[in-house]
Structure 1
Amino acid sequence: MRVVERLRRLPGLAWCRELPPAAGGAVLAPGILSVGLHLIGREALSLAALAVAGALWLLLAFAFTCRLVCDRPRFRAAAYTPAALTAVAATAVLGSRISMLGRQTAAAALLALAAALWPGLTFAVMRHWKRQMAGAVFLVCVATQGLAVLAATLALAGLGDWLARAALAAFCLGLFFYGDAFTRFDLREVVRGAGDHWVAGGALAISALAGSKLTAVPWTGPLPTALHWATLAALALALAWYVLLLAAELRSWRPHYELRRWATVFPLGMTATACLSAAGPTGVGWLFRWGEVLLWIAVGAWLLTFAAFAALAVTRPGGR
């Protein structure tokens, strides 16, 4: 009890308790940009983005741990929202980038953490699903496919064939979750969404990324062909969403800052990274060139979103 009381008296803890789960999108955005920048050889920028993602991940982990210890009713209420699954997705994306640095033990630890969080959060979120939901409903797919990406990355790094099989299971489950989420998505959000409506396409993009990782695994039988076409299909649908959502944004321009705009930057970066990653395993070389173009668009979107956040923080400290 004394520890809890001390935590409650910590300076800034009230601010930590106010952080919504949607803040996890701020980790996902630089995390996936770091992966994409690494794939095009921009290592200095990639490491800078990784540092931002890592610092934000630690901050949010501290904030949500404090909420769990000091304000459990609010923690439980937040855990029922789809945005809570950003904790799983952000941890998995961060682990995937750390694996690319050759830090397989740290990446495996993050996979274990993400896998431990996934069942409870997924069950809590899906128990409270309803009709006509915002784009955050697709985070159930994003979180599951995040596990598939990290498990497949570790399998390709030589940590065990069982990880490839686990990644395949998560990939298939993630596609099922996407279909279920789509039936609950309010299509009017395409025009009026606050930013998280872009996750509708981002979920397919991370599915394509997971598929590209699995395609690189030396499977036998008809599975490689099935994964090849599943990856291309998911990527094609993700690009179709990209065009549709971009057209809707241009039709109804909303330049003001909103916390859920980080959930716009993440799908932009994820679509670019999926193109970059899929180019090799699928043999469609022009995807890499498209991926580079889309990646710089995503970097620009991150900079604009950060500038809008900084401007808001100056004019209205503590505002979101």
Structure 2
Amino acid sequence: MTLHIHVLRAWWAGRPPAAGAAVMATGIVSVGLQLLGHEGLSVAALVLACAAWTALAADFGVVLVRDRAKWVTQAGSPGALTAVAATTVVGTRFALLGATPVAAALLAVAVLLWPVLLVLVARGLGPRMPGAVFLGCVATEGLAVLGATLSATTSTAWLAHAALVLFWLGLVLYAGALFRFDPREVARGAGDQWVAGGALAISALAGAKLLTAAQAGPRLWNNLAETVLRYTTVAVLALALAWYAVLLISEVVRPRFRYDVRRWSTVFPLGMTAAATLSVATAVSVPWLAHLGRALVWVAVAVWLTVAAGAVAAARNDLRSLSFGGGTGSTAPR
């Protein structure tokens, strides 16, 4: 028993910061299923997301207390921002369930983490970065999504105004990340190249949530501001769908079937694009977009199941290697 615990600890210690994308992916699949009315499946996915989030949050706190140097090193990786994004995605699902106190608590946690991790990650950015460079935008827009969702459900105007600022800031961060992104990653990336499109998708979702908040409560801004927001949201969704097409074609031309932990960063954009398409369709009253969104949700579910199967197989191999090989195992991306 002691040996098994040691093996599990060793395996968990090798988990990369990007593993938080699994929570993001599972959380947004839960949101997508909820938007389709499949509440049972949605809640099941939420339970999995919460379990993974709890384990990662506990590890985050333990490392911070016991090994500050390791924590700083991990926090400087772009993948560390998945902690913020994952928290906001799970919080958004709780907000849609009507669990406002839980969603508000998760928003507070994400707000506290966001500036610290954003600054640490920004210090280590350079040219020709992988798709994880867009996680600054994703984390910021995640705050906007959760803030706008809570604003709509609680009729809290200041949350919507704060979310609007974060929406525009997220787009600025996206533009900055685009200049640092290595375009060769589209053809050779191991999965996180999809975040280039997923960051735009979550931006479109934030815009849709802001439009919904404006329709649900008191007047939040003038007609000009709402018109600009509406057109920007539609344009951002169009760009996200264009990225979706480009990245999908790249996957067909150059298939990458081997499991890699960064494949969770493929599932998240797939699910986020689906959720954004459905939400924008409702917010701007374009019914035909909803048909596309429904199809994209099932694509995301299918890919989630595939990646989850790969993750289970990889974990089994790593644990076997640690148990019988006497080595360190390999939870590195592959």
Determine if contact 1:31/1:97 at 8 Å carries over to the other structure. Answer: yes
Name the residue aligned to 1:4.
Answer: none
5 Å matches for 1:1-320? Answer: 11=6, 12-158=8-154, 160-218=156-214, 219-317=221-319, 319-320=330-331
Separation in 1, partners of 2:84, 2:29: 17
Determine if contact 2:53/2:86 at 8 Å carries over to the other structure. Answer: yes
1:174-223 Cα shifts (integer Å, max 9, x gaps):
00000000000000000000100000000000000000011123332311
Give aligned-pair identity as a percent: 54
1:54-83 Cα shifts (integer Å, max 9, x gaps):
000001111121211222211111111111
The offset of 1:159, in angstroms, is 5.0
Name the residue aligned to 2:217.
Answer: none
Letter in 2 for 1:179: A
| Runs (4+) off by over 6 Å | none
Name the residue aligned to 1:7.
Answer: none
Determine if contact 1:276/1:292 at 8 Å carries over to the other structure. Answer: yes
1:227-275 Cα shifts (integer Å, max 9, x gaps):
1111111100000000000000111111111000000000000000000
User: With structure 1 as the length reference, what TM-score do the two structures score?
Assistant: 0.95
* Structure 2: segments with no counterpart, 5+ residues: 215-220, 320-328
Report which stretch shifted further, 214-223 or 137-146: 214-223
How many correspondences in the alignment? Answer: 311
Distance 1:194 1:272, change over 3 A: same
Determine if contact 1:273/1:295 at 8 Å carries over to the other structure. Answer: yes
Determine if contact 1:98/1:104 at 8 Å carries over to the other structure. Answer: yes
User: With structure 2 as the length reference, what TM-score do the two structures score?
Assistant: 0.91
Distance 1:18 1:64, change over 3 A: farther
> Secondary structure of the residue that 1:87 maps to in structure 2?
helix
Separation in 2, partners of 1:217, 1:41: 21
Determine if contact 1:31/1:49 at 8 Å carries over to the other structure. Answer: yes
Determine if contact 1:23/1:259 at 8 Å carries over to the other structure. Answer: yes
Separation in 1, partners of 2:213, 2:266: 30
Separation in 1, partners of 2:69, 2:14: 13
Distance 1:209 1:97, change over 3 A: same
Letter in 2 for 1:68: L
Determine if contact 1:175/1:207 at 8 Å carries over to the other structure. Answer: yes
Name the residue aligned to 2:324.
Answer: none
Determine if contact 1:211/1:227 at 8 Å carries over to the other structure. Answer: yes
Letter in 2 for 1:212: A
Of structures 1 and 2, the one with the larger relative CO (CA 8 A, separation 6+) is: 2
Separation in 1, partners of 2:62, 2:11: 11
Report which stretch shifted further, 217-226 or 98-107: 217-226
> Secondary structure of the residue that 2:256 maps to in structure 1?
coil
Letter in 2 for 1:62: A
Distance 1:88 1:110, change over 3 A: same
Letter in 2 for 1:146: G
Determine if contact 2:149/2:213 at 8 Å carries over to the other structure. Answer: no
